[in-house]
Structure 1
Amino acid sequence: MTAALSPPVSILKPVRGLDDELEENLESFYRLDYPFYEILFALDSWNDQACEVIRKVAAKYPQIPTVILAPGHDPNQNPKIHKLSRMESESRGRLLWITDSNVRVEPNTLSRLVAEYLSSGASLVFSPILGTSSRSFTSLMENASLNFFTSGNVIALWKLLAKPVVVGKSMLIDRVAIGSFGGFQFFKDNLAEDYLIGQSFLKKGFKVRTNFTWVMNINQQVTVQSFFKRLARWAKLRYQLNRPVYIMEIVLNPIVLALLEAAAFGPLFWQPVLLVTALKILLEYINFLAVNIKDRRRFLNHLLFPAAVVVKDFIFLAVYLTPFLSSTVDWRGGKIKVGKNSLICPTPAYEGYSLPLKC
């Protein structure tokens, strides 16, 4: 991409704690084949362990302008939006590229996204997520979930139903477009900011596009607890965003249907359960071979994959119930209560404090 066709880009990276291979993730953004960009980081505090890693990487690439901020944390606002708002005010680019700290990209990723922005006239360009780098049984479950359930459903909605759905691991956004809402701060009261940014752009007449340029979500070591918490958080957000669709998601799950039939009609229906399970494993394995080039090089992943799919789907069955039991989600070490449309319900600071009606 020539300099004349390369609008300046500000890369905004909210960071908290040490993600798997954080240094390598950050370095991938300093090696982009794009002429004009800066990178801004926002931490909760200067004591965050990630701060040292950021400084180390930035020192290797002094030619790339880098800004590190520590805006703190407001417990009654979306933590990510709080950081994005501060970075937005300090940034200079015409385009804002939001990427999470556990994301890794190829050198041509930004060029491809900007090319889509320029050719389509879009105000938001979205990237699907590729979960990769599995080094444990649980990380294999995590990445299989991201690649088949999350990215699979999102891509199906884009391609089959022409319904843009945005997941915020990577979003290239036009500064003027987000500025028309008053900046990222407009979305501070909702936890599902990525989905709502996409929907708000569409409602206002801005184009939302993707050219299916993947970004890698690095998950090497994942605990069962963190995996369950992430699934539960996303389940609760989906429930609050669209309850009828969430109920359909449960009812139409093939394993749920097969188990219900077996429970209702007895032993004869356990055969369909086994058949459905085998087909589900086969579909996910084909997807694994097709998209996860890095993980398929590790022989142990092939041996563990069938069991990972089965265990993952049983965890999913338990997760489906969580929105009916609690509206509180775990987020980066804290707890946030969410209401309808993922509205963040503030913690009452004093007696007589009234919560929003949708909480």
Structure 2
Amino acid sequence: MLAILIEVFTALLTLAGLAYLLLALWGARDFNHYWRRRGLAAGCAPDVSILKPVKGVDPQMYAGLVSHCQQQYAGRFEILFGVSSLDDPAVAEIKRLQAEFPECAIRLIECSERLGTSGKVSNLIQMLRVASYEHVLINDSDIRVSPNYLTRVMGSFADSSVGMVTAPYIGRTAQSRPSLTLWSRLEALGISTDFMPGVLTARKLEGGIHFGLGSTLATSKAALAKAGGLESLVECLADDYEMGARIAAAGYRIELSAEVVETSVPAYTFRGFRDHQLRWARTVRDSRKLGYLGLAITYALPWAVMTCIASGFDLWSFTLLSVVLLARVSVALAVGVGVLRDGQVLRDLWLLPLRDFFGLVFWLWSFAGDTIVWRGERFHLRGGRLHRA
């Protein structure tokens, strides 16, 4: 009887996962059709301040900084870099950037105050005080963008109901060993074939995006003030998610841009991969509690394999596994290649089962504690807020 119950349980989870994969395909199709119909609003190019908090020098960071200086944008823009100390190694890179692009308005801001647990948000508050323009765009230090990034992102503000624009992203790995590790490949594959399909599914089911992604947070000072300001986020780990959620709650619409940006994936060891995955998992767990519980069904492939084992490898279970595998690969290609244009997905498609098994393991592991490691510091996460360990 116990064996039958386990078989039924895993089969039901597999079917639920298959339904999710079909929804993810629907979400990807809807996103592509939306941007084909809508297009880019011509003539909308508001002046914008780009706020980039930096700490240390990340892999490929300088190439990402250069890409922001090469924007083909009709409006005016400035780039503000915030550091907690002028002794930070990133300062030399910023000065190098100023020398290489003297025509760009680049400012280095020393953010000497520590206004809360999150050093990143603390720096952003101090940078916002001196930003020249009403519109601001926040993204991470290692983000790399196309020359049309500002044009495509800021063009969405032609619609007065839009209070924030966020953007999908891919993880860019090194091209060869030793920096191209198995764990960095699994990280990048997860972004394009697991995380972003979830975002597109949420967009379809919830009638739009109601949160932000740290790859791009474009908004206005007025929308931020109405949402409670950056000060209200200074104890939050998921500041990008919360910023978007609060702007949406303030009555604004959030737009998910068709512009895809890149983030650099380090040459992870297993430990680094584990720490990052647990930080992400526990962040989502505290930000979207009900949604995170439902995340278990998205791992259809592991559940299908377990169903095969539980059924004693009956023929019907192999049929179900085959259908699930086809759907999972279809989602990976539709989102990873069709929406995100991430060629790495084709390179690492064979790793998809391993990535999904790790995803399920980390989902379970995330409930075993509340400790996270963030830029070398350990914190306890309680109710979405950071506490020093």
TM superposition score category, shorter chain reference: 0.7 to 0.9
Q: 1: CA distance between counterparts of 2:310 and 2:145?
A: 48
Does the CA-based 8 Å contact 2:156-2:162 persist in structure 1?
yes
For residues 162 and 4 of structure 1, the distance between their equivalents in structure 2, rounded to whole angstroms, comes to 27
Q: What's 2:332 paired with?
A: 284
Counterpart position of 1:351: none
Amino acid at match of 1:26: L
State whether residues 142 and 227 of structure 1, in contact with CA within 8 Å, keep that contact through their aligned partners in structure 2.
yes
Instruction: Give the distance between the partners of 2:167 and 2:50, measured in 1 at CA.
Output: 14
Verify: 1:337 aligned to 2:380, yes or no: yes
Give deviations 1:124-169, integer Å, cap 9, x for gaps: 1111112234432333222211112122211222245413132121
Tell me if structure 2 keeps the 8 A contact 1:103–1:216.
Answer: yes
Q: Which residue of 2 aligns with 1:171?
A: 217
- Residue of structure 2 equivalent to 1:350: none
Deviations 1:214-268 (A, max 9, x none): 2222326333322222221111112112333222211442034224424533343
Partner residue, 2:4 = none
Contact 2:192 2:342 in 1 (8 A): no
Q: Any idea what the Cα deviations from partners look like across 1:11-43, whole Å, max 9, x if unmatched?
A: 000112222211110001011112411111122
Residue 304 (structure 1) shift: 4.5
Mapping of 1:141-160 within 5 angstroms?
A: 141-160=186-205
Consecutive unaligned residues in structure 1, runs of 5 or more: 348-359
1:323 counterpart letter in structure 2: S
Distance in 2, matches of 1:2 and 1:272, equals 47
C-alpha contact 2:302 2:353 (8 A) present in aligned 1: no
Aligned to 1:21: 60
Distance in 1 between residues matched to 2:43 and 2:185, nearest whole Å: 43
1:54–1:317 CA distance, 2 compared to 1 (3 A)? same
| Corresponding residue number in structure 1 for 2:47 | 8
Q: Is the 8 A contact 1:103 1:215 kept in 2?
A: yes
* C-alpha distance in 1 between matches for 2:154 and 2:340: 25
- Who is 2:318 aligned against? 271
- Separation in structure 1 between the aligned mates of residue 135 and residue 380 of structure 2, nearest angstrom: 32
Alignment of 1:188-203 (within 5 A): 188-203=234-249
Q: 1:83 Cα deviation (Å)?
A: 1.4
Q: Give the corresponding residue for 2:280.
A: 234
* Equivalent residue, structure 2, for 1:99: 139
Q: For 1:49, which of 89, 93, 96 is the aligned residue?
A: 89
Q: Secondary structure at the match of 2:314?
A: helix
Counterpart-to-counterpart distance in 2, 1:10 and 1:39: 6
| Structure-2 separation of matches of 1:55 and 1:317 | 44
Specify the SS of the correspondent of 1:141. helix
Q: Provide the C-alpha distance between the structure 2 equivalents of 1:304 and 1:177, rounded to a whole number of angstroms.
A: 40
User: Would the alpha carbon gap of residues 199 and 78 (structure 1) be closer, same or farther in structure 2, given more than 3 Å must change?
Assistant: same
Counterpart CA distance in 2 for 1:332 and 1:208 is: 29
Q: Is the 8 A contact 1:32 1:107 kept in 2?
A: yes
CA distance in 1, matches of 2:296, 2:44: 46
Aligned length: 341
User: Which sits farther off after the overlay, 160-169 or 23-32?
Assistant: 160-169
Shifted more, 283-292 versus 311-320: the winner is 283-292
Q: CA deviation at 1:87?
A: 0.8
Could you list the structure 1 runs, at least 4 aligned residues long, displaced by more than 6 angstroms after superposition. 1-4
The more displaced of 153-162 and 227-236 is 153-162
For residues 21-40 of structure 1, the aligned pairs below 5 Å read 21-34=60-73, 35-40=75-80
1:312 counterpart residue number: 355
Which deviates more from structure 2 when the two are superposed, residues 33-42 or residues 95-104? 33-42
1:204 aligns with 2:250: yes
Counting only pairs closer than 5 Å after superposition, residues 215-226 of structure 1 correspond to structure 2 as 215-219=261-265, 221-226=267-272
State the SS of the aligned residue for 2:186. helix
Alpha-carbon separation, structure 1, partners of 2:43 and 2:331: 45
Specify the code of the residue in structure 2 equivalent to 1:47: D
Deviates more, 1:95-104 or 1:32-41: 32-41
Residue identity opposite 2:362 in structure 1: V
- 2:326 paired with 1:249: no
What is the aligned partner in structure 1 of residue 370 from structure 2?
Answer: 327
Q: Which amino acid aligns with 1:280?
A: R
- TM-score, structure 2 as length reference: 0.78
Identity of aligned residues (%): 23
SS in 2 for 1:246: helix
Q: Which has the higher contact order (CA 8 A, sep 6+)?
A: 2
- TM-score scaled by structure 1? 0.84
